[in-house]
Amino acid sequence: MKKILTSFSCLILLSVSFSCKDVLEEKPLDFYSPENSFVSYDDYQRGLTDLYAKVRTICYAATEYKPYLTATDIAQDGRYQLTARFGGHTNYLVPTNSDVLLHWRSWYKIVSNANTILARVGNSGLTDDEKTLITAEAKFFRAFAYRFLVYLWGGVPLITEEVTAPKADFVRASKAEVLEQIISDATEAANNLPPINQVTDGKVSNLVAQQLLAETYIALERYDEAIAAASVVIDDPNTDLMQNRFGSMVNQNPQDELLNFTQPGDVYWDLFRVGNQNRSSGNREALWVIQYETDIPGGILESTGGYAHMHTLERVAGPASWLTLRDPDGEEGAIGVPMSDYNTGGAGVSLMMNTDFFLYDLWESDWNNDIRNAPHNIVRDLVYTNPASAWYGKSAVENPGSTLIEQPWRWYPHPSKITTPGQHPDGVYVDKSLGTIKNTAGALYRDRYMMRLAETYLLRAEAYLGKGDQQNAANDINAVRQRSKATPVEPADVTLDYILDERARELVYEEPRRITLHRTGKLVERVRKYNTLNKDEIQDYHQLWPIPYSEIEANKDAVLEQNPGY
């Protein structure tokens, strides 16, 4: 009779060489899984690199302007539409919106991948020092992901363990609990990540974690701790606000033959030139810089042009004046292709523009002396570019033709940091001697600041204000304003709204503005006050985003509560 080998007899007969566990345990040999992906120190580094890549994609992909920049106090839809893109909250912020789901799942994917790393590193064969570093970096990214989740959605499911089996019973933690988890993770990161002068460009350091701590302590109204964390960053001997010109174009001025710029470049302008973002360029203000490379696998950017994938700030925030543009005589006033200059804003297509509040009201008291408002930092004029036009070289703003009269969205003032005038890659140019570029350009061909020291000063000012110390709050704001030649603010004039104004002046299109407004509870109020397109359609409940309907529906074993109003 044929005998059936039981698991018990297997243990007896085969224990000489291996156990039944070896027989029954599946070991993937021809595909990657968590079991074989995290073995060596290099394996864990690859896992962390993927977290950097995911943050880059979520924050700076082709859709970045929709969830984080537009329909706020500083920016609106570029074509005055409320139904397209993120034109309006009521139309866009619904539980079935694909971008709402995308960002929910994308940030939780970072949480999930960080948890996978953390679940395995403790029992790995790495050295204790390697385990400490890997753990600190993974916990930073988990904290950073929850930063976006908590400010967009409020209390959310708090997942701190690896999920290895199907789970459909998630419940929401309180907002305070999520913030405390960020504090816990960021504290371990701050204590164990390397100093900023010991990390390569693009990698997070202890100071990056300290800045996250400072911001989170403010949200918890623990102002003394916020001040202490921000002070660690500000007082570090390796950080300073840049005060003098530096970098790739330090000996060049932003001349534009058509716009006839006469003002020289300045240190603020230098902060956004190609190659100037990283500490290796001499930039002591940079804290965390998201890395892009041209024509290198994984670097995203391509010199041949193309904007389909990501990093398209030039395309979305730049005006479309390079297309058909009639002069006052009804003739073609533009050459019909974008240019790598200050005049047209590159290969823009007018998807997002700044509000009048940002473009005019914010600068009123310091119009001529704040360098951030200089004509090379905010381009306010457009001139006709077609040499065949009788209006060539003359202002199209002062002498609009039918195009700008009928379609004013075709050109608008814009910060020059949205593009790289005169610095597009060679492969993007149609004719470099003329400065013409392909209409498929549209990418921003440089690295991006995720954290910069100027923001640290403004965070500490916010913490000082929270505890009623307007004098020290003014001191920190004025450190930023002094660099920009702006009039110092008086302590009595420091309010949260003033700090938000200063953040807009300094950090426009750098900070995820919506996150800042959600964090401070000022989104609805400031949109109603400063955004003429969105002021009437935004509702009180838009202070939080809707939980994606598909996530609620899939969570069949528990109630994942929806935010009020949806």
Q: What are the pLDDT digits (tens) for 63-88?
A: 778 889 999 999 999 999 999 889 99
Single-letter code of the amino acid located at 533: L
The shares of helix, strand and coil residues in the chain, as percent rounded to the nearest 5, are 45, 5, 50
- What pLDDT score does 308 carry? 52
State residue 1's pLDDT score. 36
Tell me what pLDDT residue 249 has. Answer: 84
Q: Which long-range contacts (CB under 8 A, 24 or more apart) does 270-273 make?
A: 270/242, 270/245, 270/246, 271/242, 271/417, 271/452, 272/416, 272/417, 272/446, 273/247, 273/248, 273/249, 273/420, 273/423, 273/446
Q: Determine the pLDDT at residue 61.
A: 84
- Angle (CA) 329-334-335 rounded to 5° is 130
The pLDDT value recorded for residue 20 is: 41
Q: What's the whole-model pTM score?
A: 0.92
- pLDDT of 329-388, one tens digit each? 999 999 999 999 988 899 999 999 999 999 999 999 999 999 999 999 999 999 999 999
Residues 38 and 117: beta-carbon distance below 8 Å: yes
Strands 429-431 and 414-415: unpaired
Q: Mutual orientation of helices 175-192 and 206-219 as an angle, nearest 10°?
A: 160
The three-state secondary structure class of 379 is strand
| Distance from C-alpha of 335 to C-alpha of 434, rounded to nearest angstrom | 11
What pLDDT, on the 0 to 100 scale, is given for residue 236? Answer: 98
Taking 50 as the pLDDT cut, the residues of the chain under it are 1-24, 31
Residue-wise pLDDT tens digits, 41-64: 999 999 999 999 999 999 998 777
d(CA 532, CA 93): 19
pLDDT value, residue 261: 61
Pairing of strands 448-452, 286-290: antiparallel
Give residue 43's pLDDT: 95
Q: Are 473 and 259 in contact (CB under 8 A)?
A: no
pLDDT at 166: 94
Percent of the chain clearing pLDDT 90 (strictly above): 83
Enter the DSSP assignment of 218. H
